[in-house]
Structure 1
Amino acid sequence: MLTMTNLEGCYGRSRALTGVCLTVPKGQITGIMGRNGTGKTTLLKTIMGLTDNTQGTITLDGKDISAAPSHMRARAGIAYVPQGRGIIPDFTVRENIVMGGFANRSGRRAVPEKLAELFPYLTANLDRPGGLLSGGQQQQLAIARALAAEPDVVLLDEPNEGIQPSVVEDIERVILRMSREFGLTVVLVEQNIGFLRRAASTFAIMEKGRVAQTGRVEDLTDAIVDRHMTI
């Protein structure tokens, strides 16, 4: 579904990714791990076309999108949920969700029906300003906005960071359903190793802007985690 070959991404003149090669299986969750500052967020931004001077190749379902601008990558079927959520606080819940629909290839500009089951609080409060939601509710809103684009691939950057435990469980259930019920391909940056082991099929560990190790999640041993994640 999504393949990166010799991928490099920069911020200005500072190179943040070097020679990244990674294949993300279709319809599965791939967990991206690593210490802080190793390039995990940069990888997602580079996939989305949000870094400078990108080199290498990115293919989506066999189509080269390396030169495509960000909005065309979104229209091609990639949705991105960044750290910090990126919702518009003065927009209502409805407006934030519908904003995601502008990348929808069908042209649909509405709140998808399936969101009522996934996010009952949001759909019961569609006219509430996004800025008045709790942090966990804003994270749910960011995911709902991404799903409104009806993507094939969803990039999630630490969706549970700083979220209250009760909402974390709800978000984790939604992520699992994205893959298992909706057949979406998910690239998940996640520091919670327990959840990653439960959710992901494959993993990649980043170190100094490179992919240091990949594999099936059942091969993600404690020794590997300690080697690459312990500070």
Structure 2
Amino acid sequence: MLALDQVDSFYGRSHILHGVTLDVPTREVTAILGRNGVGKTTLLKTLMGLTDQISGHIVLNGTDITGKPTHERARAGIAYVPQGREIFPDFTVRENILMGAFARRDGRRVVPDIVGQLFPYLTANLDRPGGVLSGGQQQQLAIARALAAQPNTLLLDEPTEGIQPNIVAEIEDIIIRLNAEAGLTVVLVEQNVAFARRAAHRFAMMEKGRVVAAGKSDALTDDLVHRHMAV
């Protein structure tokens, strides 16, 4: 299990997360919901050690990782797919994927078999520059790069944002398969409530850097959505 206990997180003097306590059960999908600017992305970056200061406790499978640097968290099994994908446009598809393999615990740098199973287009175009791919294909590439680290926990920041509609359902189905078939624990930041309800076992609703509601997905009521996500 991944667990946060009274976690505060900062960018410089800006205090973004306030006393966040959250349990992410192993091999489940936990959706993080809320309006823009409430701290959802900062929560994922805090889990990866990418903010300036963190207090409280973050525990992964019984080990406190609060003070560990990002590369050690990656080696412990956490992989991050950031908002906007952040692939390397001048690197080939293969080179982009292999960037994720640096976090593998066995030291091997290979394109994992699961990439071919989930993303046949990528394995058929390993020598193409990442920058010529469509937005949806780049999102697939960003997920493939994360999978190259052989993670057990996958952090996804709005993976369907800015994706052409015909690819959105494909990305959603892949995320569900990664949990159901590959057994990955998934923390999913998502604005699409319908997808969150379909994919997630649990949810956490955020407001002003705090978790204001959490529970199993069947407790994600229309009233909660209206109160904390309506513009």
Tell me the TM-score normalized by structure 1: 0.99
Partners of 1:39 and 1:97 lie apart in 2 by 28
Partners of 1:176 and 1:62 lie apart in 2 by 26
Partners of 1:22 and 1:219 lie apart in 2 by 16
- Report how far residue 181 of structure 1 moved: 0.5
Give the unaligned 5+ runs of structure 1.
none
Q: Deviations over 1:30-84 (max 9, x none)?
A: 0000001000000000000000111110000010000100011000000000011
1:1-231 counterparts in 2 under 5 A? 1-231=1-231
Partners of 2:89 and 2:135 lie apart in 1 by 12
Q: Deviations over 1:150-171 (max 9, x none)?
A: 1010000000001011111111
Corresponding letter in the other structure for 1:74: A
Partners of 1:158 and 1:145 lie apart in 2 by 16
Aligned residues: 231
Partners of 1:111 and 1:219 lie apart in 2 by 39
Give the unaligned 5+ runs of structure 2.
none
Corresponding letter in the other structure for 2:13: R
Corresponding letter in the other structure for 1:119: F
- Report how far residue 117 of structure 1 moved: 1.6
Q: CA RMSD in A?
A: 0.6
Q: Deviations over 1:126-163 (max 9, x none)?
A: 00000111111101000000001010100000000010
- Report how far residue 113 of structure 1 moved: 1.2
Corresponding letter in the other structure for 2:153: V
Partners of 1:40 and 1:226 lie apart in 2 by 18
Q: Deviations over 1:162-185 (max 9, x none)?
A: 101111111111100111001110
- Report how far residue 22 of structure 1 moved: 0.3
Secondary structure of 2:144's partner?
helix
Corresponding letter in the other structure for 2:197: R
Secondary structure of 1:114's partner?
helix
Corresponding letter in the other structure for 1:24: V
Partners of 1:17 and 1:149 lie apart in 2 by 28
- Report how far residue 114 of structure 1 moved: 1.7
Partners of 2:106 and 2:178 lie apart in 1 by 19
Bigger mean CA deviation after superposition, 34-43 or 107-116: 107-116
Secondary structure of 1:225's partner?
helix
- Report how far residue 215 of structure 1 moved: 0.7
Partners of 2:25 and 2:114 lie apart in 1 by 24
Secondary structure of 2:113's partner?
coil
Q: Deviations over 1:203-223 (max 9, x none)?
A: 000000000000100111111
Partners of 2:5 and 2:25 lie apart in 1 by 15
Partners of 1:229 and 1:169 lie apart in 2 by 22
Give 4+ residue runs of structure 1 displaced > 2 Å after superposition. Answer: none
